Amino acid sequence: MDVYEQIKNTLGPLRVLENEPLSKHTYFKIGGPAKLFFEAKNVEDLKLAISTAFELKVPYVVLGGGANVLVSDKGFDGLVVKNRAAEIKLVGIKGTIDKNGKGVKNALVWTASGTSMNQLARFTIDQGLEGLEFLLSVPGTVGGGIKINAHFEVEKGEFLGNRLVSAAIFDPLTGEVKTVQKDYFEFAYDMSKIQQTEEIVLEAIFRLDTSKDPTGLWKRAMDNVKRRNEEQPIGIACSGCTFRNIEHEDAMRIATPNITTSTGYIIDKLGLKGTIMGGAKISTHHANFIINTNDATASDVIKLIRMVKQKAKEVYDLDLKEEIFYIGDFD
């Protein structure tokens, strides 16, 4: 029996799909087939799938919401695990609770890593807990969010990682699961250590403070949603921001207005807004978004990415770095 049959037998032959088009599972609506595709419905499923692939030495990748990836037109020659392990609960509270149920200072919220960040935001807002309301309507899962340190208003410290206490992660070198604390991730803007180590987040615990203004939480969250809807293209296939923002020193050197580090500004100044390559286009609404307007291929998107990087280097001596992650082989 070959290794792929062994994976199917372990995970359940009817639950493992062959040649599943990954375009169905990404916000970009781009991506060739996965040799094997499995949906993990809980943390145990997720652990079993990746540890089986690990033991059989079959390449694997975990897909969260698919909101921050570009999948190759050739797909992925291994096991793609779609993380649908969505669960969320309060696991601890701190403070002295009076007879009216008041007095909670902060609370610990546990999530399975396939929980959507939107769901996490809704849950915490409903509980009157503040600190993650900025995630309302941000696409993707807690696992994908930890990998990129999902954020909204950076200057206000609105980073997912800021609220993390600990997480259980799968180590792809040893095949073991370990619990690590927040500091382990070395969070920074668009950065966490697991981008290098390729560790997989299975579950996470966040600490949130009780809001002094619980009714204001929904308003704040909805204001953010409104702003995001104004600033970003809505209802169009895309993968969010394509590039990370530039360094502060580069913004100073280039003397951007108000020293903005926005890569969207740079792409706009390069005159590339609206550039089309096949079915892919640099959004005229927000230049850091590449959108799939007409059955774009990954190769169309790659051509645009290369063009932007080349021009940014030539004109501003900038080495732009992608925010999106690549899955599969690219020539």
Residues that bind ligand FAD (CB under 6 A): 27, 61-69, 83, 113, 138-141, 143-145, 147-148, 150-152, 194, 200-201, 228, 232, 238-240, 325
Tokens 């009076």 correspond to: 98
Identify the helix (H) or strand (E) that includes residue 97: none
For the CB of residue 246, give the shortest distance to ligand FAD in the complex, in Å. 17
CA gyration radius, the chain: 21
Nearer to ligand FAD among residue 104 and residue 287 (C-beta) = 287
For the CB of residue 315, give the shortest distance to ligand FAD in the complex, in Å. 27
Nearer to ligand FAD among residue 160 and residue 208 (C-beta) = 160
Spatial separation of the C-alpha atoms in residues 124 and 88, rounded to whole Å = 10
Nearer to ligand FAD among residue 220 and residue 228 (C-beta) = 228
Distance linking the first and last C-alpha atoms of the chain: 32
For the CB of residue 23, give the shortest distance to ligand FAD in the complex, in Å. 13
Nearer to ligand FAD among residue 69 and residue 217 (C-beta) = 69
Tokens 């897909």 correspond to: 63
Spatial separation of the C-alpha atoms in residues 158 and 122, rounded to whole Å = 16
Nearer to ligand FAD among residue 69 and residue 318 (C-beta) = 69
Nearer to ligand FAD among residue 55 and residue 153 (C-beta) = 153
For the CB of residue 65, give the shortest distance to ligand FAD in the complex, in Å. 3
Q: Which amino acid is at 149?
A: N
Spatial separation of the C-alpha atoms in residues 164 and 321, rounded to whole Å = 25
- Residue 120 three-state SS: helix
Identify the helix (H) or strand (E) that includes residue 229: helix 214-231
Q: Which amino acid is at 103?
A: G
Nearer to ligand FAD among residue 104 and residue 327 (C-beta) = 327
Of 12, 2, 20, nearest to 48 by C-alpha is: 12
Of 112, 26, 35, 113, nearest to 70 by C-alpha is: 26
For the CB of residue 25, give the shortest distance to ligand FAD in the complex, in Å. 8
For the CB of residue 78, give the shortest distance to ligand FAD in the complex, in Å. 12
For the CB of residue 87, give the shortest distance to ligand FAD in the complex, in Å. 13
Question: Contact, 110 vs 88, CB < 8 A?
Answer: yes
